[in-house]
Each structure stands twice: as structure tokens, then as C-alpha cells.
Structure 1
């Protein structure tokens, strides 16, 4: 029924905006196992999402890295003497190595170079977990949770094996492709002239040699 009066339209409630707090300092480059690397902690506190360069004292958090562990050309770390991770995820790495016909030492070297064996790291580009899988790569490798250690190692190992097949078993080119993408390796017909990628490949090779000797 229309009585000539227009009814007021009901007000639509807007969804509550999530509060975000960011806290950084000039000391956002932190020392960890002898290497300086930029990292930011993400966690929730009293319903507020916090991004800070200070590690929370309790609760779950994610670590956002600004570079992969071994990618900084100006890193002061001694890669020939940095402590190795020889026992972590032994069964998972061994199974992945057998499944994808890789050396366990190479898988360990890549994990060490990518994340220093941290499961909860995220790069500025969005790469996740131990082997720093990009979302698209994780999906292609059938990884549903990139922060789950076993899924991540299996997915990263499968991708590494794929790259080794693509580049005829050349570890240097496969590692360069793992870091910079296979398209760049094809484009430059070798290791791309990116300082980060060149440093990464060199350091993976050092770690690979050391893990082989330690096994």
C-alpha cells in the first residue's frame, strides 16, 4: 500500500575495518645465526594485526623476510663455516629425495639457503615456508599448506627435480631457476646477471658441498 510517504531506507552496516598496527625501527636488520637479514613479525594482539621488527614474546606469528636467507650479495656470513642443519626433518627429506631422485644434501642446501630451516617465513614476494614456495608454484606442486613442513619439502623437492630435468641436470642452472625463475635462465642462456641470484647459486653450492661431506 502506498500512502504517499516514502519509507526511509534501512542503513546497511559496514563491515568492521580490521585494525593494523605497524612498528619498525632503524634496527629492522636483525642478526640471526651470523647473517643480517631484514625481517618483520606479523601477529595478532588484542584483535589488532601487528607488524613489527620485534619478536612477540608469546603466541603465533609469521616472519616476513625481505630477502631469502642466502640472497643478499653483501651478506657478511661465512658460508664455509655457518652451522649446518644435519638432523632436521631427516625422514621427510630422505623420502622426498627418493621420490624425486634428488640428493638429500641438495634439498638441505636449498632449504638452508631459502629459509635457514624456518617453517613460518614469508618473503616480500609472497614465497612461503621452508623452501619458499610461491603461491602458484605451491598450487602446481599440489601443496595445500605451504607452512606444513612435509608438504613444503615435498613440493619444493618436486619443483627442484622438475627444474633439474628442464636444465639437463645442471645444478647451477636449476638453482638459478629456483631463485629467479626458469624464464630468466632461458632468456640469459645461463645464470641471470642478478647479484642476488648469483650470490644465491654460489652459496647453495657451498652448502651442498658441506652437506654432502656431513652426510
Structure 2
């Protein structure tokens, strides 16, 4: 929740990316060398200021910071942000701002969107609070997620 609030990214989207990337294993390492909960490659980790990819807090912050960058880059289009997260933003751009025709990337985007359920992301970086007594919120505020770490495995819960 802290990183969701800090970077203005829907916590449900963060959870679904972590689920797809590492299955909530903070020590996961892919064959491509991506590491940790959000499967950061070394270049992305360095770019986002993550020094220890196996530190859950740093990994999540780096991944969420990158996800925010992609959401901004692709005007809130979750499909393109996820495609960029999986295949790299340059591939999405070179493909005419469409999900690249890569089977793994197409499956990745489809799987996360099926669980996330939203094609666009409307949460933005938090601004100064402004009174909105006359305007009701568009959607209810999601319950906060808590992270409990047991035996090195993060458990996410809203209880």
C-alpha cells in the first residue's frame, strides 16, 4: 500500500503483476535474469534505484516505480504498460504503440488483465488533497492490503 500510494498505482494491479511475475517468491530468478517479487532485470533495477533486488521492499518500490513510468508513458493504457513491463517499453513503441506480437507477452498481458479487470489506469500520483464534498468518488477506495512476511514469503491480505 505504501508504494501504491507513493507512486499512485492501483494496489490490485501491483498484486497481479507480482502474482504473474514471481508467484510471490521474493527470491525468484528467471532464465532471463529477472529477480525478486517483481522480477526486475539488472538494468531496470539500476534505472529505478533498486540496489538489492532480493529485498522485498526495494524490489516492490523499483517495480512499482517502473510500472508508474510505463503507465505515464502509455497514457494509462494498462495493456501497453504491462507489455512494456514484460517485453520492454522500446518494443511497444517500435510496434506502433501496440502489444508486441510475442506469445509470452500476449499471454502475460491477457492473464493479468483477466484478473485485474480494467483496461485503463486512472489513479495518478497523489496531489494535494482538495475538498470534493459536492462530487462523490467514481469508485470506492479499495481496502488497504497488508504484507505479512513469514519465512521470507510475503503474504498479501486485506484482513
* Shared fold per TM-score greater than 0.5: yes
Structure 2: gaps (5+ residues): 119-141, 144-156
**Matching residue within 153, 157, 164 for 2:60:** 153
User: What are the ranges of 5 or more consecutive residues in structure 1 without an aligned counterpart?
Assistant: 1-93
Higher strand share: 1
TM-score by length of 2: 0.72
Which one of 131, 144, 147 corresponds to residue 38 of structure 2?
A: 131
Looking at structure 2, the residues matched to 206 and 147 of structure 1 have their Cα atoms a distance apart, in angstroms, of 28
Return structure 1 stretches of 4+ with deviation > 2 angstroms: 212-215
Query: Quick check: which has more Rg, 1 or 2?
Result: 1
Tell me if 1:96 matches 2:8: no
Q: Matched residue pairs, number? A: 121
Match of 1:167? Answer: 74
More RCO (CA 8 Å, sep 6+): 2
Superposition CA RMSD, Å:
1.9
Would you say the 8 A contact 1:108–1:208 is kept in 2? Answer: no
Residue 116 of structure 1 aligns with which residue? 23
Q: Please list, as runs of the form range in 1=range in 2, the aligned pairs for 1:1-215 lying within 5 A after superposition.
A: 94-189=1-96, 190-209=98-117
- Select the structure that is richer in helix: 2
SS in 1 for 2:70: helix
Using structure 1 for the length normalisation, give the TM-score: 0.54
